[in-house]
Structure 1
Amino acid sequence: MMRAWILPVLMVVCGSAGAAGLLRGGSPVPAAVFLLVCALFAGLNSPLVFPRSLTAAEARRRSAVDHRPVVYWRPGCPYCLRLRLRLGRKARRLHWVDIWRDPAGAAEVRAANDGNETVPTVVVAGRPHTNPDPAWVREQLTSTAR
Protein backbone atom coordinates (compact mmCIF):
# COMPACT_ATOMS: atom_id res chain seq x y z
CA MET A 1 0.00 0.00 0.00
CA MET A 2 2.86 2.40 0.71
CA ARG A 3 4.20 1.95 -2.83
CA ALA A 4 1.08 3.65 -4.21
CA TRP A 5 1.90 6.83 -2.27
CA ILE A 6 5.63 7.09 -3.10
CA LEU A 7 5.19 9.16 -6.27
CA PRO A 8 2.61 11.62 -4.83
CA VAL A 9 4.66 12.17 -1.67
CA LEU A 10 7.83 12.62 -3.72
CA MET A 11 6.06 15.23 -5.87
CA VAL A 12 4.92 17.19 -2.81
CA VAL A 13 8.38 17.02 -1.19
CA CYS A 14 10.13 18.15 -4.38
CA GLY A 15 7.52 20.85 -4.91
CA SER A 16 8.03 22.09 -1.37
CA ALA A 17 11.81 22.17 -1.79
CA GLY A 18 11.52 24.00 -5.12
CA ALA A 19 9.03 26.48 -3.69
CA ALA A 20 11.30 27.10 -0.69
CA GLY A 21 14.17 27.84 -3.06
CA LEU A 22 12.02 30.26 -5.05
CA LEU A 23 10.87 31.92 -1.83
CA ARG A 24 14.45 32.36 -0.66
CA GLY A 25 15.18 33.99 -4.02
CA GLY A 26 12.41 36.50 -3.39
CA SER A 27 9.78 35.08 -5.77
CA PRO A 28 6.66 34.32 -3.70
CA VAL A 29 4.16 34.13 -6.60
CA PRO A 30 6.19 31.65 -8.72
CA ALA A 31 6.84 29.66 -5.52
CA ALA A 32 3.12 29.39 -4.81
CA VAL A 33 2.34 28.45 -8.44
CA PHE A 34 5.11 25.83 -8.48
CA LEU A 35 3.88 24.29 -5.22
CA LEU A 36 0.29 24.30 -6.48
CA VAL A 37 1.25 22.56 -9.74
CA CYS A 38 3.26 19.91 -7.86
CA ALA A 39 0.35 19.33 -5.47
CA LEU A 40 -2.03 18.99 -8.42
CA PHE A 41 0.19 16.38 -10.10
CA ALA A 42 0.55 14.57 -6.77
CA GLY A 43 -3.22 14.44 -6.41
CA LEU A 44 -3.71 13.17 -9.95
CA ASN A 45 -1.17 10.40 -9.39
CA SER A 46 -2.56 9.34 -6.03
CA PRO A 47 -5.01 6.50 -5.43
CA LEU A 48 -7.57 9.14 -4.36
CA VAL A 49 -8.52 9.89 -8.00
CA PHE A 50 -9.72 6.36 -8.58
CA PRO A 51 -12.83 4.66 -7.21
CA ARG A 52 -12.31 2.38 -4.21
CA SER A 53 -10.36 -0.71 -5.21
CA LEU A 54 -11.68 -4.21 -4.77
CA THR A 55 -9.85 -7.50 -4.63
CA ALA A 56 -9.68 -9.40 -7.92
CA ALA A 57 -11.96 -12.12 -6.53
CA GLU A 58 -14.59 -9.60 -5.39
CA ALA A 59 -14.43 -7.73 -8.71
CA ARG A 60 -14.89 -10.98 -10.67
CA ARG A 61 -17.83 -11.94 -8.45
CA ARG A 62 -19.53 -8.56 -8.88
CA SER A 63 -18.86 -8.55 -12.62
CA ALA A 64 -20.47 -11.98 -12.94
CA VAL A 65 -23.61 -10.58 -11.34
CA ASP A 66 -23.89 -7.19 -13.06
CA HIS A 67 -21.78 -7.84 -16.21
CA ARG A 68 -19.79 -4.64 -15.76
CA PRO A 69 -16.11 -4.56 -16.83
CA VAL A 70 -13.24 -5.02 -14.38
CA VAL A 71 -10.32 -2.59 -14.66
CA TYR A 72 -6.89 -3.62 -13.36
CA TRP A 73 -4.80 -0.52 -12.66
CA ARG A 74 -1.97 0.87 -10.53
CA PRO A 75 -1.25 4.33 -9.10
CA GLY A 76 1.10 6.50 -11.14
CA CYS A 77 0.13 4.89 -14.46
CA PRO A 78 -0.57 7.68 -16.98
CA TYR A 79 -2.70 5.38 -19.14
CA CYS A 80 -4.85 4.41 -16.14
CA LEU A 81 -5.26 8.07 -15.28
CA ARG A 82 -6.22 8.85 -18.89
CA LEU A 83 -8.85 6.10 -18.80
CA ARG A 84 -10.19 7.27 -15.44
CA LEU A 85 -10.43 10.93 -16.47
CA ARG A 86 -11.96 10.23 -19.88
CA LEU A 87 -14.62 8.00 -18.35
CA GLY A 88 -15.67 10.75 -15.95
CA ARG A 89 -18.57 9.81 -13.69
CA LYS A 90 -19.07 6.50 -15.50
CA ALA A 91 -15.80 5.25 -14.01
CA ARG A 92 -17.62 4.57 -10.74
CA ARG A 93 -19.72 1.93 -12.50
CA LEU A 94 -16.63 -0.17 -13.27
CA HIS A 95 -14.97 -2.57 -10.83
CA TRP A 96 -11.42 -1.29 -10.16
CA VAL A 97 -8.60 -3.53 -8.90
CA ASP A 98 -5.31 -1.95 -7.79
CA ILE A 99 -2.67 -4.53 -8.74
CA TRP A 100 -0.22 -3.08 -6.20
CA ARG A 101 -2.68 -3.85 -3.41
CA ASP A 102 -3.88 -7.22 -4.68
CA PRO A 103 -1.30 -9.85 -5.68
CA ALA A 104 -4.04 -12.00 -7.25
CA GLY A 105 -5.00 -9.06 -9.48
CA ALA A 106 -1.36 -8.59 -10.50
CA ALA A 107 -1.17 -12.30 -11.34
CA GLU A 108 -4.27 -12.02 -13.54
CA VAL A 109 -2.76 -9.08 -15.40
CA ARG A 110 0.50 -10.99 -15.93
CA ALA A 111 -1.45 -14.01 -17.22
CA ALA A 112 -3.31 -11.80 -19.71
CA ASN A 113 -0.21 -9.90 -20.89
CA ASP A 114 2.51 -12.51 -21.43
CA GLY A 115 3.99 -12.04 -17.96
CA ASN A 116 3.94 -8.23 -18.01
CA GLU A 117 2.01 -6.07 -15.57
CA THR A 118 0.61 -3.87 -18.33
CA VAL A 119 -2.23 -1.67 -17.13
CA PRO A 120 -4.92 -0.69 -17.59
CA THR A 121 -6.18 -4.13 -18.44
CA VAL A 122 -9.95 -4.17 -18.81
CA VAL A 123 -11.77 -7.50 -18.59
CA VAL A 124 -15.11 -7.57 -20.39
CA ALA A 125 -17.11 -10.81 -20.40
CA GLY A 126 -14.04 -12.75 -19.28
CA ARG A 127 -11.87 -11.40 -22.09
CA PRO A 128 -8.90 -9.10 -21.26
CA HIS A 129 -8.20 -5.94 -23.27
CA THR A 130 -4.92 -4.14 -22.64
CA ASN A 131 -4.98 -0.33 -22.65
CA PRO A 132 -8.26 -0.03 -24.55
CA ASP A 133 -9.63 3.22 -25.91
CA PRO A 134 -11.73 4.97 -23.23
CA ALA A 135 -14.56 5.45 -25.76
CA TRP A 136 -14.68 1.68 -26.28
CA VAL A 137 -14.83 1.10 -22.50
CA ARG A 138 -17.69 3.63 -22.27
CA GLU A 139 -19.52 1.66 -24.99
CA GLN A 140 -19.09 -1.53 -22.99
CA LEU A 141 -20.66 0.17 -20.00
CA THR A 142 -23.69 1.28 -22.00
CA SER A 143 -24.11 -2.19 -23.53
CA THR A 144 -24.12 -3.80 -20.05
CA ALA A 145 -26.72 -1.31 -18.82
CA ARG A 146 -29.35 -2.64 -21.23
Structure 2
Amino acid sequence: MSYDVEKPDEQWRTELSPAEYAVLRQAGTEPAFVGEYTDTKTAGVYSCRACGAELFRSDTKFESHCGWPSFYDARNSDAVELVSDTSLGMIRTEVRCTRCGSHLGHVFDGEGYPTPTDQRYCINSISLRLIPDSDEG
Protein backbone atom coordinates (compact mmCIF):
# COMPACT_ATOMS: atom_id res chain seq x y z
CA MET A 1 0.00 0.00 0.00
CA SER A 2 1.18 3.51 -0.78
CA TYR A 3 0.75 6.23 1.83
CA ASP A 4 0.68 10.04 1.55
CA VAL A 5 3.44 10.21 4.17
CA GLU A 6 6.27 7.81 3.42
CA LYS A 7 9.69 8.09 5.03
CA PRO A 8 12.75 5.87 5.11
CA ASP A 9 13.03 3.72 8.21
CA GLU A 10 16.07 5.69 9.41
CA GLN A 11 14.01 8.90 9.37
CA TRP A 12 11.18 7.34 11.40
CA ARG A 13 13.79 6.15 13.92
CA THR A 14 15.14 9.69 14.38
CA GLU A 15 11.70 11.35 14.56
CA LEU A 16 10.13 8.91 17.01
CA SER A 17 11.27 7.78 20.44
CA PRO A 18 12.28 4.09 20.67
CA ALA A 19 8.95 3.29 22.37
CA GLU A 20 6.94 5.22 19.76
CA TYR A 21 8.86 3.52 16.95
CA ALA A 22 8.25 0.05 18.42
CA VAL A 23 4.47 0.58 18.43
CA LEU A 24 3.89 2.84 15.43
CA ARG A 25 6.34 1.30 12.96
CA GLN A 26 6.78 -2.26 14.29
CA ALA A 27 3.16 -2.95 15.39
CA GLY A 28 4.09 -3.32 19.04
CA THR A 29 1.78 -2.82 21.99
CA GLU A 30 2.38 -0.59 24.98
CA PRO A 31 1.72 -2.15 28.40
CA ALA A 32 -1.87 -1.98 29.65
CA PHE A 33 -2.93 0.79 32.04
CA VAL A 34 0.21 2.91 31.60
CA GLY A 35 -0.70 4.96 28.53
CA GLU A 36 -0.99 8.71 28.70
CA TYR A 37 -4.60 8.74 27.39
CA THR A 38 -6.10 5.63 28.98
CA ASP A 39 -8.29 7.62 31.39
CA THR A 40 -8.25 11.06 29.73
CA LYS A 41 -11.58 12.85 29.46
CA THR A 42 -10.31 16.04 27.79
CA ALA A 43 -12.40 17.18 24.81
CA GLY A 44 -10.48 17.28 21.57
CA VAL A 45 -9.10 15.38 18.60
CA TYR A 46 -6.74 12.44 18.81
CA SER A 47 -4.26 12.56 15.96
CA CYS A 48 -1.57 10.18 14.73
CA ARG A 49 1.64 10.77 16.68
CA ALA A 50 3.70 9.93 13.58
CA CYS A 51 2.08 12.19 10.96
CA GLY A 52 -0.57 14.35 12.67
CA ALA A 53 -3.61 12.97 10.80
CA GLU A 54 -6.87 13.36 12.74
CA LEU A 55 -8.07 9.91 13.76
CA PHE A 56 -10.59 9.99 16.63
CA ARG A 57 -12.69 12.55 18.54
CA SER A 58 -12.98 12.57 22.31
CA ASP A 59 -16.78 12.28 22.04
CA THR A 60 -16.36 8.72 20.68
CA LYS A 61 -13.99 7.69 23.50
CA PHE A 62 -15.47 5.45 26.18
CA GLU A 63 -14.36 3.57 29.27
CA SER A 64 -13.86 -0.07 28.39
CA HIS A 65 -11.54 -0.80 31.34
CA CYS A 66 -9.27 -2.78 29.00
CA GLY A 67 -6.10 -0.80 29.77
CA TRP A 68 -5.91 1.23 26.56
CA PRO A 69 -7.91 4.16 25.19
CA SER A 70 -11.08 2.89 23.51
CA PHE A 71 -13.16 4.60 20.83
CA TYR A 72 -16.35 3.37 19.18
CA ASP A 73 -15.78 5.12 15.85
CA ALA A 74 -13.03 6.78 13.83
CA ARG A 75 -13.26 10.51 13.16
CA ASN A 76 -13.66 9.77 9.46
CA SER A 77 -14.01 6.34 7.90
CA ASP A 78 -11.06 7.15 5.62
CA ALA A 79 -8.80 8.12 8.56
CA VAL A 80 -7.97 4.53 9.45
CA GLU A 81 -7.42 1.35 7.49
CA LEU A 82 -8.34 -2.06 8.81
CA VAL A 83 -5.95 -4.93 8.10
CA SER A 84 -6.31 -8.63 8.94
CA ASP A 85 -3.78 -9.57 11.64
CA THR A 86 -3.05 -13.25 12.23
CA SER A 87 -0.06 -12.75 14.54
CA LEU A 88 0.01 -14.29 18.01
CA GLY A 89 -2.03 -17.27 16.80
CA MET A 90 -5.33 -15.40 16.60
CA ILE A 91 -7.35 -13.48 14.02
CA ARG A 92 -7.69 -9.79 14.82
CA THR A 93 -8.24 -6.60 12.86
CA GLU A 94 -5.32 -4.18 13.00
CA VAL A 95 -6.01 -0.44 12.84
CA ARG A 96 -3.51 1.70 10.91
CA CYS A 97 -3.34 5.37 10.01
CA THR A 98 -4.25 5.71 6.32
CA ARG A 99 -1.97 8.72 5.92
CA CYS A 100 1.32 7.10 7.04
CA GLY A 101 0.56 3.41 7.66
CA SER A 102 1.47 3.56 11.35
CA HIS A 103 0.09 0.89 13.67
CA LEU A 104 -2.50 2.27 16.08
CA GLY A 105 -4.03 -0.80 17.71
CA HIS A 106 -6.88 -3.20 16.94
CA VAL A 107 -10.66 -3.00 16.54
CA PHE A 108 -13.02 -5.55 18.05
CA ASP A 109 -16.69 -6.12 17.17
CA GLY A 110 -19.64 -7.41 19.15
CA GLU A 111 -18.28 -7.21 22.67
CA GLY A 112 -21.53 -5.78 24.02
CA TYR A 113 -20.37 -2.31 25.06
CA PRO A 114 -23.26 0.18 25.13
CA THR A 115 -21.97 2.19 22.17
CA PRO A 116 -23.67 3.11 18.88
CA THR A 117 -21.38 0.90 16.77
CA ASP A 118 -20.72 -2.11 19.06
CA GLN A 119 -17.07 -1.69 18.12
CA ARG A 120 -14.05 -1.04 20.31
CA TYR A 121 -11.09 0.60 18.69
CA CYS A 122 -8.44 -0.40 21.24
CA ILE A 123 -5.68 2.12 20.51
CA ASN A 124 -2.21 2.55 22.01
CA SER A 125 -1.85 5.94 23.75
CA ILE A 126 1.67 6.20 22.38
CA SER A 127 0.23 6.11 18.83
CA LEU A 128 -1.85 9.22 19.53
CA ARG A 129 -1.48 12.88 20.35
CA LEU A 130 -4.45 14.71 21.91
CA ILE A 131 -5.15 18.18 20.58
CA PRO A 132 -7.57 19.74 23.11
CA ASP A 133 -10.52 21.72 21.82
CA SER A 134 -10.09 25.47 22.06
CA ASP A 135 -12.23 27.19 24.68
CA GLU A 136 -12.75 30.04 22.28
CA GLY A 137 -16.15 30.17 20.60
TM-score band w.r.t. shorter chain: under 0.3
Q: TM-score if structure 2 supplies the norm length?
A: 0.24
From the CA coordinates, give the structure whose radius of gyration is larger.
1
Question: Whose helix fraction is larger, Structure 1's or Structure 2's?
Answer: 1
Q: TM-score if structure 1 supplies the norm length?
A: 0.23
